[in-house]
Structure 1
Amino acid sequence: MAQPLLDDRAAPDGAAPPPPPGPLGRLAGWSFRHRGRTVLLWLVALAIAFGLSTAFGGKYSADYTAPGSDSKTAQELLARDFPTQSGDTITVVVHSEAGVMSPAVQTRLTALFAEMAKVPHVKAAEAPDPRRGQVSPGAGTTGIAKLRLDVANPTDMPKADTHKLLDLANGAGDGLTVSLGGQAVQMAEQGAIGSEGIGMAAAALILLLTFGSIVAAGLPLLTALAGLAVSSLLIPVLAAIMPVPDWSTSLAAMMGIGVGIDYVLLLVTRFREWRAEGLEPQAATVATLDTAGRSVVVAGITVIVSMLGLFAMGLSFMRGAAFAAITSVLIVLAAATTLFPALLGYLGRNVDRLRIPLPRRKAARAANVISPGWLRWSRLVERYRIVAALAGIVVLLALAAPFLDVRFGFPDQGNDPAGRSTRQAYDTVATNFGPGANGPLLLVAELPAAKDTAALDALVARLAGTPGVAAVTPVQYAGTSAVFTVIPTTGPQSTATEKLVRTLRDDVIPPTTATGTNVHVGGLTATAIDSSANIVKRLPLLVGGVVLVSMLLLLLAFRSVAVALKAAVMNLLSVAAAYGVVALVLRGGWAGKLIGIDNPTPLPAFVPVLTFAVLFGLSMDYEVFLVSRMREAWLRTRSNSESIVIGLAGTARVITAAAAIMVAVFAAFVPAPEVPIKVIGVGMASAILIDATLVRMLLVPAVMHLLGDRNWWLPAWLDRRVPQLHIEGPPPA
């Protein structure tokens, strides 16, 4: 027969009876007592998620165009009036010293294109046309051909079919060099590295070093794996409902593994402390969820609130990525509050069993003993609080400085590793046609009448004489629509190309619009420029909204104005420092080469937006873990200095261990072939490292020592209206 709920927190002999457990404590007690049923429910959830993924899983997709932009209008018109040009394309760059138009080379190219046209999803192969500027000037040693696909999105092109095209290109024969370009080829050449497995292995090693016990280290891993298994199966279902970018699976895996292990690490630590106090496993489990469990839930909510800020960007792919990350966090929260107590029902008495042979002092074996080393550090920060605060701020600002000259844009195939076919195609085109040939501007026109081409002819003449324009291709007509290409003199990532797009829209095209002919500038280069500008414009809205909501949440949790304001400022500083590290590696040079970036690379504008939402929430996690223990000591001692010293010394070990795990998980994604994932991994790993060491272990306690009792001040009128959450645990009986 199950024990009454009040018995779940039964105190050791002679102690005062504890208060009734809260909702999390009652949930933990139920899961502990019905552990078999709880584990079975999670297995059923996994089976349901697998069934939904198999039956309803959709394909990943993303629209990076800016809503309402000129390039978006051009894309829509192209799809409507020129459907043969609206699908995805693969560029075929051919080079022969004999000249690509020579009869012998033409014979070989005809046979090659015939073979390529047989590959699935290739609906047409267009040979290089000198009249359209697709053969290099002079000896004509280089030509640009096109393979038109029957898929609109490069993610829909099977990688196996793209590899067939690569094999045909590599087998072109002596004297003829063929390389392929395009996003479909780029994705096929990227491959995969199994970052999730690397992150889990690193986390397992850190947990073993932290706990010294295989059982204690295994609990966070088992819980995180269960949450990751369910969430990873649900994300394809999400992709069937809304646009979800393919890289969101990596983001969700980062969040699920890192957050799941971190949260359960805190719970295991508190469980061992309660056991050391003499509580039985069931009572210790309930007490753990009633104290540390509240911090975990608040920390998880802050992450979710931060991710919800991405909805303010008004971009469909941002919403899809946010939903994927939120799904992962919610499921690992559910696992931490239900599955973890159930596992303790089986392993609670043996949590310190299967110890590994590590040199450990006897005093450190007790889970609830504060480390003397961290206690000395805490006293040192108290003594030199002014120096510590100034030093921390100076270092953070120095780390953030490289972000001041960051260059926004989308990395292209010129940033790929030198050995790939896409990079070879890019370099060959840039050498023989000029850098602008890799970033053509596609102009789509709407004519007032089918034969009214006078205004468009005048526009073409003006374009040919516009500084920064290398060439203009002949116009193609389809009823009252027309399309032609403008080749810039500069590359797609150049600021000069961005200025050219603005010049065309603001100065060159408007006289044509006045005649009734509307012309829109589109293509991949213009789309990237419009998307970056749109995201950067909305970034302040995201930052303001996330900071404000997070401050309100912390105000409710800690009933302190100073804690909420300080946390917001500190988190902004740590995120800015992480941005600076990202900007530094994107410059190339020695820092970039450490992670596989060997030339200057622009920063995709959505990366700082995405990382801000994630990092601000994760930074709040450590703030909650640290300050909740400080507030617990403050309520007990009413001494600000002692509460800060005790809180820092008591949580430093678990925060640094949790941060080490998070850094390892994020750093495992740095070797990823995709530049956005690589950069997100760098930004998150560096941010967590900076936040958990420089900010939480130095700057936060130093500033709180300087503020004194003002740390815990709340106006009386607000104190009466703010509900008591008791994040540090229920008040003692």
Structure 2
Amino acid sequence: MSTTLPRPAAPASGPAPRAHRHGPIGRLGRWAATHRRAVFAVWAVLVIGLGVFAPKVEHALSGAGWQDSGSESVQVRDLVQQEFGGLNSTGLMVALHSTTDTATSPAFAQRIAAVTRVLQEDDRVSQVVGPQPGVTISQDGRTAIVMAGAAADANDMVRAADDLKEPVRALGDDRIEIAMTGASGLWSDFNEANRAAMMKSELYSWPVTLGILVLAFGGLAAAGLPLLLTILGLVASAGSLYLGTHVFDISIWAMNFALMFALALGIDYALFVVMRFRAALRETPDDVPDAVAATMDTAGKAVLFSGITVLISLSAVMLVDSPAFRSMAGGIMVSVIFVLAASLTLLPAVLGRKGHRINARAVPWAKASEPRSARFAAWGERLWARPWLAGLAALGVLLALAVPVLHLDTGMPSIKVVPQEDSSRVGYGLVQDAFGPGAPGTLQVVVPTAEADAARTALQADGGIAQVAPAQPGRSGDVVLLQAVPRTDPSDPSVGATIDRLRDTLPAGSQVGGATAENHDLEQELAAKTPLVIGVVLALGFLLLLVALQAPLVALIGTVTNLLATGAAFGVAKLVFQDGHGASLLGFESQGFLDAWGPVFFFAMIFAISMDYTVFLLSSAKEHWDRTGDPKEAMVGGLAHSGRVIFAAAAVMVAVFFTFALSGPLPPKEMGIILGVAVLLDAALVRLLLVPVLLRLTGRAAWAVPAPLKRILPDVRFGH
């Protein structure tokens, strides 16, 4: 197969007309720099218009949605809603316990009546069922459960738990302890604890971020630009998410992740663009708009491809049939779109206005620094001279860290993700102590009335079931509800095996649901879709890099190497969160597994962030290759021009992510450790070491383009 190796273009006989020197992104940047008032006005209208709604978003976002929407368990939830007065998995559960009184004592009965009144007064409660002897009253009589049916959807029942858990808990005293638990209570506490932890982490991260940005940019004027993009992107995203809640249920986690990605991308894009702008100003010091155009033709084009790659990575998460996952991915994508739009329009306008004042209040070394870093150029020369030792060392470290991922176990979040003092965890413990370890995860089995006896017999005969409550007839008379208590804790893998077994052995027409079954079904959906999501992300990422870089081998290098840092990060996660190494240092209680949503969602996030650095490095390398046709200059020059940006951006991201490891609940710790380790390894060992080594070893072949492919690819160049 013939290949075409690009050669430096012959010099033109005279300067080209300025209007034709730059590509579409460069011309957009020049237009923004020369029409600043229009750009500022549009963004002011956009941010103010959407910002009006931003303060309302937190109360409009949903707290549930962690489900496989097409699963059997969700069908059971809907059926129980219709047939059994809303006493499904989203209903409220209140546990009352006393060490001195029993459920029949006057004091205990008064507390039950008080709890019942509080629950009945809420419109989201369909009915309240008091404690039943032999079912929801313990054998010693000292623990009782009050059940409240759901008259609203899952999200509103979490909001009901938000509003009712404290008034209900306040009804207790020294003699009788009262706590709201159940799935809605757990999600209420889970979301509240994580929201507080995210806010705490963000409070820590902002000063750290600003400090690193000042060091990276060398001054406050330039360092403020990433924060400007972040704030504008966040405000616009928050307003958009609020409007979106009128059409879809959007998880509150969408806002948390949107803030994090707005910060990450705002920093990455502004770093790359501003550093390139400083270099362009040296080339055309008397023509600021032309310097902006030249900047956007190179760095701006890289930012565009990076942003599209991020959107592609996150869109693959939409393949998971879960409202929480889809809304989280959608929320992040909204923030990416706003930050990307600001980077391509508002940032050039600001640079056009500032001009040489971009160096205002900068330290002397920042003003005098060259765009080509001497240190990273020297590092590139060293790697070019001795590639094997450094490359094998980096590969060995990454593979060694990735080995534990072969034994990674996942599961849905257990009660351990909720702080010990929270109502849902207190109530969970009370129910387990009184009714057995599996009681908080009671299964709801709906069967045709004609099969009730056979189903009950099958449940009682199953080794995974400890107790079966009497059948409850449905309103239609067509079905009955059997409550089956597993023998083990709901987070134990054996419960999932029991659910699968029951679905195979129960009479035809039987359906198994309940909160534990919903978690199991979502875990199964995640396990089934994770390979698909990873495959789609890799395939689309490769295709986009192929279009951007015009060379299959270098696009393959950029894509596949992303897996190394990802695998290593999850290997570290296995050691920390599954095996518990460092648990006491980080202040968490190991569940014995990694949360099941981690692999698919964190992979997409890691790939998205890593592709930022990939595009920055390889687009710079391609720029040098297009200009010189020299593979050494492509590798060394690309590293010299982008290494400092990658290093600074990664430093900010690692610092930000590791602040999440300081948060109280487990999920932010998982996110902080996994993302922080991934970015650290990706920047230090992959982008700044392994990829340059691979460019050295593949040489001219890295940039070869098969002739048939060259005919169908658009001509993309990172230069002017």
TM-score after normalising by structure 1: 0.88
Partner residue of 1:34?
35
CA shift in 2, pair 1:24/1:212, >3 Å: same
SS in 2 for 1:443: strand
Q: In structure 2, what is the equivalent of residue 685 of structure 1?
A: 676
Which letter maps to 1:131? G
Of the three residues 314, 327, 334, the one matched with 1:327 is: 334
The one-letter code sitting in structure 2 at the alignment partner of 1:652 is G
Indicate which of 188, 193, 196 corresponds to 1:192.
196
Q: Which residue of 2 aligns with 1:130?
A: 133
Matches within 5 A, 1:583-602: 583-587=574-578, 589-600=580-591, 602=593
Structure 1 match to 2:8: none
Residues in 2 aligned to 1:574 and 1:550: alpha-carbon distance in whole angstroms:
16
Equivalent AA in structure 2 for residue 180 of structure 1: M
Q: Partner residue of 1:457? A: 453
Shift of 1:574: 1.7
Alignment of 1:518-529 (within 5 A): 518-529=509-520
Q: Compared with structure 1, are the counterparts of its residues 498 and 86 closer, same or farther at alpha carbon in structure 2 (3 Å cutoff)?
A: closer
- State the secondary structure of the residue aligned to 2:481: strand
**Match among 339, 342, 345 for residue 349 of structure 2:** 342
SS at match of 1:130: coil
CA apart distance, 1:272: 0.8
Distance 2:151 2:360 in 1: 59
Per-residue deviation at 1:717?
2.2
Partner of 1:411: 413
Q: Distance in 1 between matches of 2:493 and 2:182?
A: 22
Match of 2:464 in 1: 468
> Letter of the aligned partner of 1:175 in structure 2?
R
Which of 676, 685, 706 is the equivalent residue of 2:697? 706
Cα pair 2:138 2:435 within 8 Å, conserved: yes
**What amino acid sits opposite 1:152 in the alignment?**
D
**In the alignment, is residue 729 of structure 1 matched against residue 719 of structure 2?**
yes
CA distance in 2, matches of 1:523, 1:141: 25
Say if 2:316 is the partner of 1:309. Answer: yes
Q: Work out the CA distance in 1 between the residues paired with 2:494 and 2:183.
A: 24
Q: Please name the residue that 1:48 is paired with.
A: 49
Q: Is residue 2:512 matched to residue 1:505? A: no
Q: Map of 1:393-542 to 2, 5 A cutoff?
A: 393-447=395-449, 452=450, 455-478=451-474, 479-507=477-505, 509=506, 512-513=507-508, 518-542=509-533
Distance, in Å, in 2 between the alignment partners of 1:344 and 1:642 is 29
SS of the equivalent of 2:715 reads coil
My pick for the range that moved more, 558-567 or 680-689, is: 680-689
Deviation, structure 1 residue 43: 0.9
In 2, the alpha carbon distance for the partners of 1:729 and 1:277 equals: 14
Q: Which residue of 1 aligns with 2:213?
A: 207
Alpha-carbon shift at residue 671 of structure 1 (Å): 4.8
Per the alignment, do residues 351 and 50 of structure 1 end up closer, same or farther by CA in structure 2, a change over 3 Å counting? closer
Q: Give distance in 2, aligned partners of 1:164 and 1:480.
A: 34
CA positional deviation for 1:44: 0.5
- The equivalent residue for 2:597 is 606
Partner of 1:293: 300
**CA, structure 1 residues 611+101, in 2 after alignment: closer, same or farther (shift >3 Å)?**
same
CA contact (8 A) 1:87 1:151 kept: no
Residue identity opposite 1:91 in structure 2: M
2:392 maps to 390
For residue 101 of structure 1, give the secondary structure of its aligned residue in structure 2: coil
**Structure 1: which amino acid aligns with 2:316?**
G
Mapped partners of 2:655, 2:332: distance in 1: 19
Change (3 A) 1:589 1:645: same
Q: Percent identity?
A: 33
After superposing the two structures, state which structure 1 stretch, 278-287 or 523-532, moved more: 278-287
Counterpart of 1:273?
279
Residues in 2 aligned to 1:55 and 1:325: alpha-carbon distance in whole angstroms = 18
Secondary structure of the structure 2 residue equivalent to 1:303: helix
Structure-2 residue corresponding to 1:4: none
Contact 1:276 1:366 survives alignment (8 Å):
no
Change (3 A) 1:24 1:605: same
Q: 1:51 to 1:691 in 2, by over 3 A?
A: same
Give the structure 2 partner of residue 6 of structure 1: none
Inter-partner Cα distance in structure 2 for 1:348 and 1:131: 78
Distance 1:244 1:676 in 2: 19
Aligned to 2:247: 241
Summarize the Cα distance change of 1:50–1:170 in structure 2 as closer, same or farther, 3 Å threshold: same
Gaps of 5+ in 1: 1-13
Q: 1:638 Cα shift? A: 2.9
Task: Tell me the CA shift for residue 433 of structure 1.
Answer: 2.3
Change (3 A) 1:347 1:581: same
User: What is the CA-CA distance between 1:101 and the residue it aligns to?
Assistant: 2.7
Instruction: Give the corresponding residue for 1:352.
Output: 359
- Worse overlay, 120-129 or 398-407: 120-129
How much does 1:245 deviate? 1.7
Give the aligned partner of residue 180 of structure 2: 180
Instruction: Map 1:134-153; keep pairs closer than 5 Å.
Output: 134-137=136-139, 139-153=140-154
Q: Once the 2 structures are TM-superposed, how far is the Cα of residue 41 of structure 1 from its aligned partner? A: 1.1
Q: Distance in 1 between matches of 2:250 and 2:204?
A: 25
In 1, Cα distance between equivalents of 2:455 and 2:119 = 36
Contact 1:215–1:347 under 8 Å retained in 2: no
Deviation of 1:490 after TM superposition, in Å, equals 0.7
**Superposition RMSD on alpha carbons, in Å?**
2.7
Q: Is the 8 A contact 2:558 2:614 kept in 1?
A: yes
What CA distance in whole angstroms lies between the structure 2 residues aligned with 1:350 and 1:636?
Answer: 30
Q: Which runs of 5+ in 2 are unaligned?
A: 1-13
Question: Secondary structure, in 3 states, of the residue corresponding to 2:92?
Answer: strand
Report the alpha carbon displacement of residue 275 of structure 1 after superposing the two structures with TM: 1.7
Aligned partners of 1:89 and 1:77: how far apart in 2?
13
One of 637, 654, 667 as aligned partner of 2:645:
654
- Classify the secondary structure of the residue corresponding to 1:85: coil
The match for 2:169 is 169
Task: Check the 8 A contact 1:116/1:125 in 2, yes or no.
Answer: no
Cα deviation, residue 247, structure 1: 0.7
Once the two structures are superposed, the pairs formed by residues 520-669 of structure 1 within 5 Å of their partners are 520-587=511-578, 589-600=580-591, 602-669=593-660
Q: Hey, what's the Cα distance between the residues in 2 that align with 1:115 and 1:86?
A: 20
Contact 1:262 1:662 in 2 (8 A): no
Tell me, in whole angstroms, the C-alpha distance in 2 between the residues paired with 1:83 and 1:675.
35
Cα deviation for residue 459 of structure 1 reads: 2.3
What is the alpha-carbon distance in structure 2 between the residues aligned to residue 397 and residue 616 of structure 1? 18
Letter in 2 for 1:501: I
SS of the aligned residue for 1:72 comes to: helix
> Residues 643 and 414 from structure 1, CA distance in 2 versus in 1: closer, same or farther, beyond 3 angstroms?
closer
| Separation of aligned partners in 2, 1:651 and 1:39 | 29
Alignment check: 8 A CA contact 1:88 1:150 kept: no
Q: For the residues of structure 1 that align with 2:50 and 2:238, how far apart are their CA atoms?
A: 9
* Closer/same/farther in 2, CA of residues 255 and 550 from structure 1, 3 Å limit: same
Matched-pair contact (CA < 8 Å) for 1:429–1:438: yes
Q: Aligned residue for 2:290?
A: 283
**Matches of 1:315 and 1:171, distance apart in 2:** 36
Q: Give the partner amino acid of 1:546.
A: V
Asked whether the equivalents of residues 81 and 150 of structure 2 are also in contact (C-alpha less than 8 Å), the reply is no
Q: Deviations over 1:330-388 (max 9, x none)?
A: 111110111112212332221111236xxx7x5x6423254443333323323331122
8 Å Cα contact 1:411-1:601 kept in structure 2: no
Q: What secondary structure sits across from 1:84 in the alignment?
A: coil
- Contact 1:415/1:599, CA 8 A, preserved across alignment: no
Residues 197, 433 of structure 1: CA spacing in aligned structure 2 closer, same or farther, 3 A cutoff?
same
- 3-state DSSP of counterpart to 1:136: coil
Amino acid at match of 1:349: H
